[in-house]
Structure 1
């Protein structure tokens, strides 16, 4: 009986520990998140920004992991070598790639809590300080959303209008990618962890997080500063106790 119980236990643990197979990449929104930059390389407040679907170029300048057409950067490398997308040069963009990397964080020097809100909080831009832009996870869906009427093309919907309409109909919503794979560099990985692990607006829709050089245990300089602060604080406490004695 003990042997049978042990076999059942081993089988159960084995089944539980085997990772679930991923779905087709077409069912995912693959997102690239850049690391920290100075705040000036982010996006200034403006009510004039068009939606992600209507935007024709990357928004954010140098706060980027590279253009879709730039050979030396990871965006094109992933597109070409991992997802095996044909090289169509400058015609490749967020609307026709598996990868969404279409704008920077508004403030790349912001703390991870605020960057996490910009990543996953769907009401992030409710006051329209950044025009028609939305949280990054919504923009990744928005650029792929479309409702096509083959009999009357004038009824076709795209972008935000299509996404908002699709959400009202579960059968339509299942036809667009609704799960995420996050590929993050440096501080982008910290923002992703903040969203997934510590926020109350994460709903379990991320399947994979890949971080590249993210300081999950803090940076060396910061750890040194904190250590020095702790050391000085202990010395101050000791001196205070001695003076009171």
Structure 2
């Protein structure tokens, strides 16, 4: 069962939505038994997208998110999606409450051919059709996720994921750039590392430079999924030694949805858009 709602700012409430129009920006996360993680960071990212695209202002987006948090089911596993979409020829805020798909434990990577051709990688939703097509190509090739590379053949991110990897005791990830989406799960993991005194580093490797390393594909639905196969690259996947413990760290960040937005965002993740 799913439900589509629209934010009515005059009423200060979510009301039944009309037929879906063009979607310009989206954000989504896992809601399990009424608990979510990183919701203030999803709000910040979505509000930045709305501002960039001429959508409703920040205070309206915040009120919308609070209503969303209070509307989410308290039982079961759900994957709610917020949207900046066109309805009746106007940009509006919409909520799609939908069941969560089955969660994955591992991921097989397929490398997309050619450089990343997205128009606005920093806004989640604008390039949704292209990313969906790439992920479909990955599935057709027996993989779970499409890996995007830049013109020099260096790792950018996945169609639906960001990447982290372990080089010895150092947790590594690509640097923030306009060609990458600000990943909420990545920032939460880097925050955990900072709190525990784990060293971190930024790298821009080719896939071959990750040969034999423990690599994670992360997102707000699945959390941490270790890469177990590189289907279209001569790269061997390293053993997932640290993933189980860090999954536990991540799960402890979950909070009841209605109170999640009132929790102060830790300083080490304040910069996330």
Give the alignment's TM-score, normalised by structure 2.
0.25
Q: Which has the larger radius of gyration?
A: 1
Higher percent of residues as strand? 2
Give the alignment's TM-score, normalised by structure 1.
0.27
Higher percent of residues as helix? 1
